Every structure is written in C-alpha cells, then in structure tokens.
Amino acid sequence: MSATSEDAALAGVSPALVLLHGGGPGVDAGSNWESVRSRFSDEFRCLAPDLLGFGTQIAGSAGIKGPRAWAMARARQVLDILDRHGLERVHLVGNSAAGGAAALALLSVAPDRIERAVVMGGAGTGPLPPAIPFYDDPTKSSMRAALSRLVADESVHDELLDELTDIRMRQALSPGAESAFRSMFADVTGGPPPIDLTKIVNPVLALHGECDRVSPVEVSERLVDALPDARLEAVAGAGHWIHVDRPDEFCSLVGEFLSA
C-alpha cells in the first residue's frame, strides 16, 4: 500500500495496531503477518512496516551493530512512523528477536506512545544464537530447514514453507541483506545499555509456543517475571510461529488482551 492510500485508510479510525515482524533471514512484514493481518484489520487500524535491515529497509541501516543497537534503531523507526501518521498512542504486537525486541525498546523509551503490547517467542531476551541461520550455508535446503524449525510440525505447513522458502531466498540474497543480518547478532561491547525491564510500566502479554524449537518457554517466563505488569500465555501445540500454527487462538488471545 502506498503512503497516501495508507494514510487515507488510517484516517479517523481507531484503535491502531502496529505489527512488528520477526528476525529470520529474508523476512518481510507482508509474508510474516499474512496469516492474521486481515483478521486484525476488521477491528484495528493495522500498520505492518518492514523493520530496519529487512525487506525494503536494508539501505541506510549500515553501521548498526549488535542486538541492543538494532532494537533501539527500530524503536526510533517505529516512532517516526507514528509521527508521520499522526498516531499518538498505539498497540504493539512484536514477533521474536526483531519485532519483540523493538517493542520492548519502544516501551522503555516512549511508554506514553503505547497502550498495550504483545510480545512473542521471548522477544529476543534469550541468548544469542550459536550459529547464524542460512547465511553460513546459503542454499534453498538451508532456508527450508531454517523455516521448518519455526513451526511445531512442518508436515502440516509444507505448501506454506515451500512458498516462503522462495520468497525469503530472494530477499535474503538481495544486496546488503547478509551483512545487515550478521550485524544484528554480533556480540559487541558498548553501545546502548540493556533495557531495564523493571521500568516498563505498560501492560504486556507474552505469548510462547509450548513446542518452540527456537527459544524455550523459560525465556518468556523470565521476561514476564522481570516486567511489572505482564502475564504469559503458553500456547499448546504451537512452535515459534504461534500465529501460523494456531492462528485462531493467537488472534483470540491478542484481541482479548488489546481490547481489555
């Protein structure tokens, strides 16, 4: 959607919901939220931007290094989007180590701009991955394997995973994508300080798939314990992609929480 048509769609309607996608190689907002965005659009004004370093937002992201710096840069990106659309307060849904971490960063620096936030899969608060997915073996089979780990049972989603493999291969191999991705997970000293989770005052719902093969449920348990106003919903039968494995339950949990 063009900026002009998006502005028109947003004008005079409330409440607003910003969907922040996950951080896998080659991801973009459109493919990440395709399974649920139309359902949220019935109730919310939805914005789903490509985050810095992904999709249409690779150019201009050079020089950012380490997960904390990327999270803060994406928080500033989202604030710019809110200002551009004249949105004073919004809800957030942040997926995993990109969108979830950006959501936490935004809650820490601009709590007055956020009503409620949903974060998924630990929101990047777990340890850095032991290896960089896909780029150490940039093949179609490697991409397919990386995507398969995001669902509880890949045989249920064969067609979707095949489609996403092709989409993400093209985007992951676009100019600048690999260097940006590697810098997101660089173990660096210095840079922005860690987010003080105990200072986040907004209501937060943490969702975690019980069958998550990327990040164990304990990561979200520790996150919720640190946040002053948060609760955890562990979704049975779901992997890291809760919105793909259990879209009905995902939409119900998010909708009920945001409308409370």
- Domain range 3-258, its CATH number among 3.40.50.720, 3.30.70.20, 3.40.50.1820, 3.30.200.20: 3.40.50.1820
Q: What is the pLDDT of residue 3?
A: 39
**Structure confidence at residue 55 (pLDDT):** 95
> Across residues 176-197, what is the average pLDDT?
92
Per-residue pLDDT band for 260 (boundaries 50, 70, 90) equals confident
Instruction: Give one DSSP letter per residue of the chain, joined into a string.
Output: --HHHHHHHHTT---EEEEE----TT--HHHHHTTTHHHHHTTSEEE-PPPTTSGGG-TT-TT--SHHHHHHHHHHHHHHHHHHHT-S-EEEEEEIIIIIHHHHHHHHH-GGGEEEEEEETTTT-SPPPSS-TTTTS-SHHHHHHHHHTTSS-GGGGHHHHHHHHHHHHHHHTSTTHHHHHHHHT---SSSSPPP-GGG--S-EEEEEETT-SSS-HHHHHHHHHHSSSEEEEEETT--S-HHHHSHHHHHHHHHHHHT-
Distant-in-sequence, close-in-space partners of 89: CB < 8 Å, separation ≥ 6: 16, 112, 113, 114, 115
Percent of the chain topping pLDDT 90: 87
Nearest-angstrom CA–CA distance, 232 and 227 = 11
Q: Which of 11-25, 90-104, 153-167, 179-193 has the lowest mean pLDDT?
A: 11-25
pLDDT band with cut points at 50, 70 and 90 for residue 207: very high
Nearest CA to 29 among 179, 186, 171? 171
Q: Give the per-residue pLDDT at 1.
A: 35
pLDDT digits (tens, 9 = 90+) for 79-94: 999 999 999 999 999 9
CA–CA separation, 64 and 199 (whole Å): 25
Residue from 108, 25, 18 nearest 71 by CA = 108
The confidence score (pLDDT) of residue 214 equals 95
CA distances from 153 to 144, 148, 217 (A): 13, 8, 17
Residue 103 CA to residue 60 CA, distance in Å, equals 21
Least confident interval from 60-64, 104-108, 159-163: 60-64
pTM attached to this predicted model: 0.93
Residue 13: which pLDDT band, with cuts at 50, 70 and 90? low
Does position 37 have pLDDT exceeding 80, yes or no?
A: yes
- Cβ-proximal residues to 205 (8 Å cutoff; 6+ apart), any chain: 116, 117, 118, 119, 230, 231, 233, 253, 254, 257
The pLDDT assigned to 187 comes to 87
The residue-averaged pLDDT of 251-256 equals: 98
Token pair of 25, please?
Answer: 């190689």
Whole-number pLDDT of residue 194: 92
Mean pLDDT of the chain: 93
Segment among 13-27, 105-119, 193-207 with least mean pLDDT = 13-27
